[in-house]
Chains A and B, each alone.
Chain A
Amino acid sequence: MFKYILKKLLMMLFTLWIIITLTFVLMLSVPGSPFNSESSSNEIVQQNLEKHYNLDQPIAVQYVLYLKSIITLEFGPSIKQPNQTVNDLLGRGFPISAELGLVTIIVALISGIAIGILAALRHNRIIDYIAMGIAVLGISIPNFILATLLIQQLAVNWSIFPVATWQGPLYMVLPVLALATGPMAIIARLTRSTMLEVLTQDYIKMAKAKGLAPWKIIVKHALRNALMPVITIMGTLLVGIMTGSFVIEQIFAIPGMGKYFVESINHRDFPVIMGTTVFYSSFLIIMLFLVDIAYGIIDPRIKVNKKEGEE
């Protein structure tokens, strides 16, 4: 087990290095500079700016500087917001995005699994159709449309919730609803299909024959196996949602980190691009690793070592 983890860690570092290098190359090969703006300027000012951010250095030097900033985890100041370091931006934005993301995932998981089980238990009956109808809608309605609708109806017309900004639990309701619907639908469909499969298994019949209470069969025996695919997608889903959604955060004026992924590239804000990339990829790699470990815990049939062999 220890050897496996060590090996995995080294692999992770190597993957990270490849991602960093690729990002660096892509970043510098895109035309444009961080200092293009609609306001006036002149050559001297542009030169001073380039010098200030070491962009006048040879590419090799810039690459070394980047690697250094990554190893020391000091990404330096953002070019767009020079008073803020990338660490400031991410340190401030991530907890907010993560909070919103976690709540979203919890809501999506509970409601998704509930709907999935319900649909499976009432297979091919009206509740099943309704549940799957909701799921299809949830997958196909983009969250920004849902967000706008929620605001117009619940905030503007009915004044139940505030429209936007981030000032407390009440402000979280609409963005969570908008964000959770998609993942909820995916989870519901996954749960339903695996539940249906599991419910026909012999051991479920066995459990029924033993006279166990129906809810015990579902929760203890069926659900545990039915959850495997859900856990598989959980790693990516968690990372995606916890690092913030550009669109939802923009619509609800939530000061999370989602916007930096998109805006840093639009502004060619190189330190922020590097920072977000490193952050996101390490987070993803670690989550995938945790998912691997979680398999072993949920399903004792999967041994981490063996699984590695299968790959």
Chain B
Amino acid sequence: MKKLLIYLSAVFMFLFLAACTATDDPEGEAEPEEQETEKTFAEEEENETTEEETALGENVLRLNNGTEPASLDPSIGFDAVSWDPLNNLMEGLTRLDQEHLAGPGAAESWDVSDDGLTYTFHLRENANWSNGDPVVAADFEYAWKYMLNPETASPAAFLGYFIEGAESYNSGEGSEDDVNVTAVDEKTLEVVLEQPTGFFLDLLTNPAFFPINHKIAEADPNWHAEAETFVGNGPFTLEEWKHDEEMLFAKNEHYWDADAVKLNNIHFAMVNDTNTQYQMFEAGELDTASIPPELSDQLIDGDNVFIGPYGGLEFFRFNVEMEPFQNKKIRQAFSYAINRADIAEFVVKTGVEPAYGFINPGYTSPTGEDFRDVNGELVTFDPDQARQLLEEGMAEEGYEELPEITLSYNTSDTNKAVAEALHGMFNEHLGVEVTLENQEWNVFAEAQQALELQLSRSSFINDYNDPVNFLESFITDSYMNRTGFSSPEYDELIAKGKSEVDEEKRWEYLYEAEKMLADEMIAAPLRYYNTVVLEADGVEGILRHPVGYFDLKYAEKK
């Protein structure tokens, strides 16, 4: 017995000491170690392919979805973790192409009436569901009306309000029949819009507008909850779905463009820890990974790093109903005092771009230019002007001393670092001491919505590929406004920026609107979001669209 005990504790001691040696590894050793890892990585890769060849077949891409998708019901899953899988399991009438523009998807072609109101979509003859059923116009009609049904409580429903009758149906006033979507015949879908909407085709790439196989859904409303019952019309099928654990996709042989699909299988892990998923990548268990913030400086310049734009903006909202931000010049002063380049490069890191406007680069105008290039740098860093504007603003308001200002943000390490940097900049360039305050996300969101915060951190992630998506937030009484800003002039610019039939003119209104937003300085942009991904050797062709979700249709693993 004694011997056994000694043996047991010896084993444990060994394990423990092994763990302890890991602590002693100094930073400097990192490099040779890395090489070693690469070696084992390659070795393991070999082992694993042989192992997995039997299990999964060749050409398996191993990705991480982070968490369980909220839902694979296209009307309900309204977040990135649902969109990424959905965009590869299903397809809307249009699909974002390699240039990130809306191209033909399940619809082969479409006609738009001269007044820009009526869209007639012609579905592909060979568009099929993964169970072999043809994709018919009625599937779209069913899906959209289901999304707009108030009882469905779809968080994406507001995206459908461009369709005639949609808003009143969703608000519970109108009826389903008022929604002007009609399946004319098996393969023709007619949609009448509330008003001309130049970006309607872009909108349709959002998973909220994906079709639902109405025969399946009518028989089993929970068709989307398990892999066995899931029916899609995209490049891949859902082979296996262990909730909270993993998903396995396989190439969809019924997909109309199946020849273009190169991968046989995609395996999604659900690892919600940045360090772990990076370590899995290092150990060769994942083909792509994000960069943990602490390792950003070391890894960001590597050859295997993909950096691309991501449709989103981090900014700070001024509450124009609270002192001292009712004054435009004071708002402008604060914006001029922000050194955005420093924040992007030294605080947020991971290769993000400073934002000198509200709309991130990546939106191509009808004349082929980038929105950002046309409107240029609207907000800049200029300490002298900042100080002068602050003085003028204070004089206008008759302030001897600036009222106390609290800068609020939702609790997170990055947000804290940004807030502290801003604190320093306001202090240095304006001589203003702001108080920093952080709140748990939900508490924060509620307070911001109720206009209880003076100067608060915000972010915006685009839902669809058009500048109006962001700009629209600041119209009077919009749910997304959260600043108290109200200007009839701005409202009108946005109204025209949505409904103008002439695309070039429509963009002119949007340029105007952004300039006005910058001049009024309702919100101070800080930086654009980006996508930074480590990709293993041989991984190619993953389309990462600036708006929303990635597309694995053309992805390969060599």
Partner of A41, one of B150, B158, B446: B158
B276 x A81 contact (CB < 8 A)? no
Q: Does A33 reach chain B (CB closer than 8 Å)? A: yes
Give the shortest distance, in Å, between A120 (CB) and chain B (any CB).
11
Which residues in B have their C-beta under 8 angstroms from that of A118? 5-6, 9
Q: CA of A30 to CA of B21 in the docked complex: distance in angstroms?
A: 45
Binds B, one of A66-74, A155-163, A299-307: A155-163
State A32–B222 Cα separation when bound (angstroms). 29
Known A-B contacts A151-B279, A157-B33, A159-B283; A266 and B442 likewise in contact (beta carbons under 8 Å):
yes
Contact A155 B222 (CB under 8 A): no
| B443 and A41 within 8 A (CB) | no
Interface residues on B, range: 35 or more
B242 pairs with A255, CB closer than 8 A: yes
A39 and B463 contacting across the interface, CB-CB below 8 Å: yes
Establish whether residues A83 and B222, one from each chain, have CB atoms under 8 Å apart when the complex forms.
Answer: yes
Contact A111 B245, CB 8 Å, known A48-B150, A151-B279, A253-B273: no
- Which residues of chain B are near A267, meaning CB under 8 Å? 442
1/0 per residue, CB under 8 A from A, across B495-521: the answer is 000000000000000000000000000
Categorize the interface residue count of chain A.
Answer: 35 or more
- When distances are taken between beta carbons in the complex, the residues of chain A under 8 Å from B473 are 40
Contact at A155–B279, with CB atoms within 8 Å? Answer: yes
Query: How far apart are B357's CB and chain A's nearest CB, in angstroms?
Result: 19
Report B452-482 residues with CB < 8 Å from chain A CB.
459-461, 463, 469, 473, 478-480
> CB within 8 Å of A: which of B156-175?
157-158, 167, 170-172
**Which of B36-44, B96-104, B112-120, B188-196 is found at the contact surface with chain A?**
B36-44
Assess whether B258 is interfacial by the CB under 8 Å rule: no
> Hey, which chain A residues are within 8 Å of B150, CB to CB?
44, 48, 51
Contacts of A111 in B (CB 8 A): 8-9, 12
User: If the complex has contacts A36-B445, A156-B283, are A45 and B244 also in contact, measured as CB distance less than 8 A?
Assistant: no
Check if B71 is an interface residue, CB within 8 A of chain A.
yes
Q: How far is the CA of A33 from the CA of B449 in the complex (A)?
A: 12
For residue A37, CB closer than 8 A to chain B, the reply is yes
Assembled-state Cα–Cα distance A149/B21 (Å): 9
Interface flag for A177 (CB, 8 Å):
yes
Interface residue? A117 (CB, 8 A):
yes
Closest residue of B by beta carbon distance from A37: B79
User: Is A93 interfacial (CB-CB < 8 Å)?
Assistant: yes
Instruction: Write the nearest CB–CB distance from A88 to chain B, whole angstroms.
Output: 8
Any A CB within 8 A of the CB of B224: yes
Chain A contacts with B in 262-289, Cβ cutoff 8 A = 266-268
Query: Contact string, B4-44, partner A, CB cutoff 8 A, digits 1/0?
Result: 01101100110110110111000000000100110010011
Q: Which residues of B contact A137 (CB under 8 A)?
A: 16
Cβ of B271 under 8 Å from chain A: yes
A149 close to B479 (CB less than 8 A): no
Select from chain B the residue with minimum beta-carbon distance to A214.
B2
* Contacting pair B155 A165 (CB below 8 A): no
> Is residue A75 within 8 Å, beta carbon to beta carbon, of the partner chain?
no
- List residues of chain A with CB under 8 Å of any chain B CB: 30-33, 35-49, 51-53, 80-84, 88, 92-93, 110-111, 114-115, 117-118, 121, 130-131, 134, 137, 146, 148-157, 159, 162-166, 177, 181, 214-215, 218-219, 250-253, 255, 259, 266-268
